């Protein structure tokens, strides 16, 4: 690997956006990342964007490039749901190694307007074979996977609630987080309204408006940057299914995480920060089981017997995770990349992990369908 993250830009999440477009939030995020990197707009010669931004269903990279006023030599849409952010980082590195470009901006943003109901012209198999039976939306799909875990392994609601507790606790040290100033007890999680049994409200991310961008560049350019570069050490990705009914009976990250660690020539014990995608508590549970830190079905014992703050045994989602930070649609996944960069630069302030050299970042799209893992490393 010879590419590094040299710039990060992240908007402060807001519950609802006003007078914004997705394109304007993209531009704000890119400007923040360029400023952080100490680079100019014209340094960007690669662009990775999410799908259907700015209400344009097609030609998204060209629409975004034109709006930004750049002319990239490599441009692509990455469409992996919550795994998009992490998936962009290794794709940027791959394009750089291929010699197509040297400096890639990876950007995701979401406007979230009050009362806005997205309409979908969906005619895929989920629309045909799930929706007519009463299953619409992610909450029910994830509830089905959580119930399966509880039945198969005997995992308890208290164990899942612990994950929401730690996310909110960590968010108290991140002023940008949506739930900064609002800690949560395990009892409050267990008493929150049932949405799709067995998932309760406080186990589910809050949709917000926001945006995030990272800039990936060559090693040669990275070492001349104004921050310590954060290198991509390894990556792994696997797409297994789309609909929850077609999910395999394997741990979701059983390919992606070992692949990323192998590429980095590391073991899970070498990781200082677990920056694990957390759209729901249950996703963190199965991701922890995929890391090998605990056996399948045993995340409960693990979560009850360790601490997960910046000063804990296993620092986990020190920015509050998306459960504490808020989920600006696909940009939510990028928050796990950005926190890893902040920690590995040593710029995390009151939530800085001592001696943070390596981070494991995960992204998850659809219903544990699209899984991406990255190992990021700081500058020794």
Partner 1 sequence: MTHLQNISLPGPTITPITKPFWEHLKKGVIMLQRCNTCEEWIFYPRAHCPHCFSESLRWEQASGRGVLKTWSIVHRPGNAAWKPLAPYVVGVVELKEGPSMLSHILTDHSNLAYQQEVEIDLITAGNQPLPFFKVCEEELN
Contact residues toward partner 1 (CB under 8 A) are 122-123, 125, 127-140, 143-145, 147-148, 151-152, 193-199, 243-246
Q: Would you say 52 or 245 has its CB closer to partner 1?
A: 245
Cβ at position 137, least distance to partner 1 in Å: 3
- For the chain, first and last CA: distance in Å? 16
Cβ at position 189, least distance to partner 1 in Å: 16
DSSP state of 349: G
Look-up of token digits 């990556």:
235
The number of CA neighbours under 13 Å toward the Cβ of 262 is 8
Provide the 3-class DSSP secondary structure of residue 375: strand
Q: Distance (Å, rounded) from C-alpha 230 to C-alpha 326?
A: 24
Cβ at position 120, least distance to partner 1 in Å: 11
Q: Would you say 88 or 204 has its CB closer to partner 1?
A: 204
Cβ at position 257, least distance to partner 1 in Å: 24
Rg (alpha carbons) of the chain, rounded to whole number? 19
Q: Would you say 57 or 132 has its CB closer to partner 1?
A: 132
Q: Would you say 42 or 151 has its CB closer to partner 1?
A: 151
Instruction: Please answer whether residues 294 and 302 qualify as being in contact, where contact means their C-beta atoms are separated by less than 8 angstroms.
Output: yes
Cβ at position 263, least distance to partner 1 in Å: 29
Positive/negative CA dihedral, 190, 365, 242, 285: negative
Cβ at position 200, least distance to partner 1 in Å: 10
Cβ at position 302, least distance to partner 1 in Å: 23
Positive/negative CA dihedral, 37, 38, 43, 49: positive
Other Cβ atoms closer than 10 A to 223 = 13
Q: Would you say 73 or 243 has its CB closer to partner 1?
A: 243
Among 213, 194, 179, residue whose Cα is nearest residue 327: 179
Q: Would you say 94 or 201 has its CB closer to partner 1?
A: 201
Q: Would you say 99 or 129 has its CB closer to partner 1?
A: 129
Among 229, 290, 237, residue whose Cα is nearest residue 263: 237
């Amino acid at each position: 690997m010879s590419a590094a993250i040299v710039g990060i830009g992240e908007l402060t999440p807001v519950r609802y956006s006003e007078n914004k477009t997705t394109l304007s939030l993209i531009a704000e995020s890119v400007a923040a990342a360029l400023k952080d990197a100490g680079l100019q707009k014209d340094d960007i010669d690669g662009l990775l964007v999410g799908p259907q931004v700015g209400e344009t269903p097609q030609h998204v990279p060209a629409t975004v490039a034109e709006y930004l006023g750049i002319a990239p030599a490599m441009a692509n849409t990455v469409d992996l749901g919550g795994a998009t952010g992490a998936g962009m980082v290794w794709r940027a590195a791959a394009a750089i190694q291929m010699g197509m470009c040297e400096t890639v901006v990876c950007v995701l943003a979401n406007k979230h307007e009050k009362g806005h109901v997205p309409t979908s012209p969906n005619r895929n198999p989920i629309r045909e074979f799930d929706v007519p039976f009463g299953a619409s939306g992610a909450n029910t799909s994830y509830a089905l996977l959580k119930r399966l875990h509880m039945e198969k392994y005997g995992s308890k609601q208290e164990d899942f609630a612990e994950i929401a507790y730690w996310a909110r606790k960590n968010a108290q040290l991140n002023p940008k987080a949506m739930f900064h100033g609002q800690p949560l007890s395990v009892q409050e999680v267990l008493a929150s309204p049932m949405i799709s049994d067995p998932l309760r409200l406080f186990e589910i991310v809050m949709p917000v408006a926001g945006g995030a961008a990272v800039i990936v560049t060559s090693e040669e350019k990275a070492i001349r940057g104004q921050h310590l570069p954060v290198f991509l050490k390894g990556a792994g990705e696997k797409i297994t299914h789309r609909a929850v009914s077609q999910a395999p009976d394997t741990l979701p990250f059983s390919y992606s995480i070992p692949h990323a660690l192998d590429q980095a020539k590391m073991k899970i014990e070498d990781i200082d920060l677990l920056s694990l995608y957390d759209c729901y508590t249950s996703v963190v549970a199965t991701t922890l089981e995929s890391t090998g830190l605990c056996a399948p079905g045993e995340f409960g014992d693990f979560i009850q017997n360790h601490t997960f703050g910046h000063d804990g045994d296993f620092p986990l989602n020190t920015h509050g995770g998306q459960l504490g930070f808020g989920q600006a649609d696909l940009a939510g996944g990028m928050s796990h990349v950005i926190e890893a960069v902040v920690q590995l630069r040593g710029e995390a302030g009151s939530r800085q992990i001592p001696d943070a050299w390596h981070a494991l970042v995960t992204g998850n799209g659809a219903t544990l369908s699209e899984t991406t893992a990255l190992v990021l490393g700081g500058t020794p």
